[in-house]
Amino acid sequence: MRRFGMRFLIFLQLIAAIIAVIPSSVHSGEIVIKPGKFDHFNISMPDKIIAGEDVAIKLQAVDAFNNVITNFGETGKEFHATVTGSASINPATFKSTAFVNGTLTLTVSDKVAETINLSVKESGIPIPIMSKDLIITPNKLSSFMIKGPRTAHAGEKFDIKIIAKDSFGNTVLEPIFGKNMNLIFKGNAEPKVDMPSIPDFKNGICSITLVSQKAGTAIVEAKDLITGSSGTSEKIEITSGPVNSFRVFVPKEVIAGEPFEVSVVAVDRFGNVVSNYSSIGSGIAIASSGKLKPFPSSLPAYEFVNGQAKFDLRYDAAEDITITITEIGKAQKGTSESIKVISPIPERYEITTPDSAVAGQKFKIKITVYNQLGNVIRNYNLVGPDVQLSTTGTGTLLPNRIPASEFVNGTAVVEVQYNKSEAFAITAGPVKTPAVKKVAAAPSKQPSKTVTHAKETKKSKKDKEKKAEARTLEITNVSLVEPKKKSTISIHIPNLDSTVKYSASTETIEGKKWIIVKIKPAVSKIEKTIKFESSFVGNVMVEEDKKDKGAVLVKIEQLKPARFHVAKEKNTLAVTLKH
224 with 275, same domain: the answer is no
> Quick check: helix, strand or coil at residue 448?
coil
pLDDT of the residue at 579: 79
How many domains in the chain? 5
Residue 192 lies in a domain: yes
Tell me which residue of 139, 137, 181 sits closest to 160, measured CA to CA: 181
The residue from 79, 110, 137 where one domain ends is: 137
541 with 525, same domain: the answer is yes
409 with 335, same domain: the answer is no
For residue 456, is it left (φ>0), alpha (ψ between -120 and 50) or beta?
A: alpha
The residue from 223, 239, 255 where one domain ends is: 239
The residue from 111, 137, 163 where one domain ends is: 137
pLDDT of the residue at 11: 66
Residue 363 lies in a domain: yes
pLDDT of the residue at 296: 94
Distance CA 73, CA 101 (A): 9
356 with 412, same domain: the answer is yes
Residue 438 lies in a domain: no
280 with 313, same domain: the answer is yes
pLDDT of the residue at 221: 96
Torsion sign over Cα 271, 276, 280, 282: positive
Residue 65 lies in a domain: yes
154 with 78, same domain: the answer is no
363 with 406, same domain: the answer is yes
Asked if 316 and 293 count as a contact pair (C-beta separation under 8 A), the reply is no
Q: Which amino acid is at 227?
A: T
Residue 453 lies in a domain: no
132 with 152, same domain: the answer is no
Burial (CB < 10 A; 0-12, 13-18, 19+), residue 450, is exposed
Q: What is the pLDDT along the chain (579 residues), one digit of tens a residue?
A: 455 456 666 666 667 665 555 554 455 568 888 888 998 999 999 989 999 999 999 999 999 999 999 999 888 899 999 999 999 999 999 999 999 999 999 999 999 999 999 999 999 899 999 899 999 999 999 999 999 999 999 999 999 999 999 999 999 999 999 999 999 999 999 999 999 999 999 999 999 999 999 999 999 999 999 999 999 999 999 999 999 999 999 999 999 989 999 999 999 999 999 999 999 999 999 999 999 999 999 999 999 999 999 999 999 888 999 999 999 999 999 999 999 999 888 888 889 999 888 888 999 999 999 988 888 988 888 888 899 998 888 889 999 999 988 999 999 999 999 988 888 888 888 887 654 444 444 444 444 343 333 344 444 545 554 544 445 788 888 888 777 678 888 888 888 877 788 888 888 888 889 999 999 888 888 888 888 888 889 899 999 888 888 899 999 999 888 888 888 877 888 888 887
256 with 336, same domain: the answer is yes
Distance CA 298, CA 285 (A): 4
pLDDT of the residue at 254: 94
175 with 212, same domain: the answer is yes
CATH number at residue 337: 2.60.40.1930
Residue 18 lies in a domain: no
> Quick check: helix, strand or coil at residue 455?
helix
251 with 329, same domain: the answer is yes
pLDDT of the residue at 382: 83
Asked if 426 and 351 count as a contact pair (C-beta separation under 8 A), the reply is yes
Q: b/e map of 515-544 (b: 16 or more CB within 10 Å)?
A: bbbbbbbbebebeeebebeeebbbebbbee
Asked if 201 and 220 count as a contact pair (C-beta separation under 8 A), the reply is no
Residue 123 lies in a domain: yes
Distance CA 121, CA 142 (A): 38
CATH number at residue 525: 2.60.40.3500
148 with 130, same domain: the answer is no
Q: What residue numbers bound the domain in which 509 lies?
A: 473-578
Q: b/e map of 304-317 (b: 16 or more CB within 10 Å)?
A: beebbbeeebbbbb
Residue 459 lies in a domain: no
CATH number at residue 230: 2.60.40.10
